[in-house]
Structure 1
Amino acid sequence: MEIELLRTFCAVCQFGSMTKASEFASLTPSGVQAQIKQLEGLLNTKLFIGHAQGVQLTGEGEALLLDAQELIAHHDRVITNVKGVRDTLEGELKVITTKSGAIWVTPFIREFQEKYPNIALNLVADEERSLLFSSQLSGITVGLAGFSPPKKTSLIWSPLLEYRWVPFAHPEYLNERGAPQTIEDLDHHDIIAYKWSPEHNYLNDCQTNGLLYLGREKDNRRKPIAKTDDIIICVLMLRQKMGIGLIPPFFQHGTELVPVLENFFPNNDSLVQKLYFIYPQELKENSRVQAFNAFVKEKAKEQGQLLKD
């Protein structure tokens, strides 16, 4: 049985749709469908049932899934060992990362490349968080994610650092409007707020919009001047001197933004998030993975943010 048939099968399981799986597997939807049909023919059983939103596993499909994941992991481990990549600091290292991970790690990339010139970093954005939940990462691949691990995963999620959201503003905005000194002063300032889309449901509205609620009853919150579902857009609004907004502190690196209300933030009500370093169990001893893991931990330690495993 070809291992790629199992990869395609796992991708369809992961996304619940042959169309979405086709993007992950670099195939056309009809190509995915053909591979699933071929696999069903080899096993002489039906693996999926179609419905309005996509497909779902049959009982036989559920029985196959765990074995398929284990076979893929074993196959990749064998290939990795045969190619001798366990003990070399040369070649590609793919880093799948969400936005928070990318913003945090990017300022350190040049230093990493200078330290390990033969490791070719490939940063891959994963805003839908689908790849980091997958159990079928291929190649020498690790991840960075600013949300909690799923309940079921074959990957190792190691806590890397912890950070709290704090308010920032542009110096020119503060010169014009005055820097708030008390919570009550927020009543006289423009506040940029968040309105999260469903994929960000792991973010707490009251905490990410703490500037609206602070010192107010929940049903009498301040009215924001603007809303967004993207932290980077919030940063851009702040840089346009539009008001005050809560962001993770490292999102202001390289900008002119300054913190405000430092006597009150961070506090116990501030949103606390962790950044995780993610890797497959079989790559735990891989030289490239170890080098990158040690490097990002060193950077987190320098910033006083390093968490113990």
Structure 2
Amino acid sequence: MDWDKLRIFHAVAEAGSFTHAGETLNLSQSAVSRQISSLEESLNVALFHRHARGLILTEQGELLYRTAHEVFSKLAMAEAQLTESKDKPKGQLKVTATQAFGSSWLTPVLGEFIELYPDVQVDLVLEDRELDLSMREADVAIRMAPPRQPELIQRHLMTVHLNVYASPAYIKRHGIPKSPEDLDNHRIIVYGDDTTKPPVKDIDWLLHTSAKRDGQRRPILKVNSVYAILRAVQSGLGLASLPEYMAQESTALVRILPEMQGPRIDSYFVYPEELRSSKRIQVFRDFLLRKVAEGKLTG
């Protein structure tokens, strides 16, 4: 297969239209269309269903796209390894983390890392879903559970503790619960999203410690962002379980029912085996581990 046509096919499959692919490739819509038609003729298969709203991959097109995507991802990884200096870390470093961890702790310490390694271009992607490192959706992930893929290297980063917090304004208005059973009569805020997997296991543990007959509390608010839960608690809307590292950043929060502890969550620094020798990843890993040792990232 012609590599140039394959590159154009990959761009079209990603963009979903000849026009958008042409903008990415700096080619005209007609030039892109001709190259795809030529590729289809050489393979003697249709790669796209063409319709008024855009393009949809055929079954054969899906097969070729998956293969091409893997090839181009591995080529990008090889290029990064070849261009990286052996002595000085440089190049793009794409890091993914959950929204709560990334916004509360990781982002504030990145300034120091960038000062230390100005030739490393950090690209931070905050997603509660797990990006596929093997497909180069990111170089490094900070995950709140051990990776399931055996080809990924993992390093334990920290243990996160979940506690119950409220604002002084909430306590003034509704009182402070004296026992776990008292929570049945309080306004509880929890993580809620029926469409995606929660960022950590048992994140809504507060709902399952009720003395009610069905063992379930009813939340006053469900929101699919731990950071939004923090803001809701700060505003006095209700009580919530929050990671200790987030609550420590907010002097306005009060820990309640200290005898109650939620799940302990182990976080991991994860990256693909192919990037084991990457200087960028090595220095970033060591930087975060040093912050943990200094107490900057305790959970």
Query: Would you call these one fold, judging by a TM-score over 0.5?
Result: yes
CA RMSD of aligned residues (A): 4.1
Distance 1:77 1:225 in 2: 47
Unaligned ranges ≥5, structure 1: none
Distance 2:293 2:73 in 1: 32
Q: Which residue of 2 aligns with 1:174?
A: 171
Shift of 1:168: 1.3
- 2:242 maps to a residue whose letter is I
Distance 2:267 2:41 in 1: 43
Shift of 1:215: 3.3
Distance 2:95 2:37 in 1: 33
Q: Which residue of 1 aligns with 2:257?
A: 261
SS at match of 1:94: strand
Matched, 1:291 2:283: yes
Greater Rg, structure 1 or structure 2?
Answer: 2
CA deviations 1:16-38 (Å, max 9, x no partner) are: x937xx79x9579x97x947656
Match for residue 274 of structure 2 among 259, 266, 282: 282
> Which segment drifts farther, 105-114 or 231-240?
105-114
Asked if the contact 1:133–1:150 (Cα under 8 Å) also holds between the matched residues in 2, the reply is no
Distance 2:168 2:240 in 1: 13
Shift of 1:253: 4.1
Match for residue 18 of structure 1 among 12, 16, 21: 16
Distance 2:196 2:48 in 1: 25
Distance 1:97 1:4 in 2: 30
Asked if the contact 1:80–1:86 (Cα under 8 Å) also holds between the matched residues in 2, the reply is no
Q: Normalised by the size of structure 1, how large is the TM-score?
A: 0.71
The share of aligned pairs that are identical, in percent, is: 27
- 1:143 maps to a residue whose letter is A
Q: Which residue of 2 aligns with 1:93?
A: 93
Distance 1:7 1:134 in 2: 19
CA change 1:98–1:37 in 2 (3 A) is farther
Matched, 1:224 2:216: no
Distance 1:156 1:284 in 2: 8
> 1:1-309 counterparts in 2 under 5 A?
1-2=3-4, 4-5=7-8, 7-8=10-11, 12=14, 18=16, 34=33, 39-47=39-47, 55=56, 58=59, 61-62=62-63, 64=64, 67-69=67-69, 71-103=71-103, 104-126=105-127, 129=130, 132-133=131-132, 135-137=134-136, 141-146=139-144, 149=147, 156=153, 158-200=155-197, 207-217=202-212, 219=214, 221-255=216-250, 256-266=252-262, 270=263, 272-303=264-295
CA change 1:79–1:117 in 2 (3 A) is closer
- 2:123 maps to a residue whose letter is N
- 2:284 maps to a residue whose letter is F
Shift of 1:240: 0.7
- 1:240 maps to a residue whose letter is S
CA change 1:274–1:56 in 2 (3 A) is farther
- 1:113 maps to a residue whose letter is I
Aligned residue pairs total 284
Asked if the contact 2:191–2:204 (Cα under 8 Å) also holds between the matched residues in 1, the reply is yes
- 1:133 maps to a residue whose letter is D
CA change 1:27–1:215 in 2 (3 A) is farther
Distance 1:300 1:39 in 2: 52
Shift of 1:192: 1.4
CA change 1:82–1:224 in 2 (3 A) is closer
Q: Normalised by the size of structure 2, how large is the TM-score?
A: 0.73
Distance 1:215 1:94 in 2: 42
SS at match of 1:221: coil
Asked if the contact 2:140–2:271 (Cα under 8 Å) also holds between the matched residues in 1, the reply is yes
Distance 1:7 1:157 in 2: 31
Shift of 1:264: 1.7
CA change 1:143–1:180 in 2 (3 A) is same
Asked if the contact 2:70–2:135 (Cα under 8 Å) also holds between the matched residues in 1, the reply is no
- 1:4 maps to a residue whose letter is R
SS at match of 1:123: strand
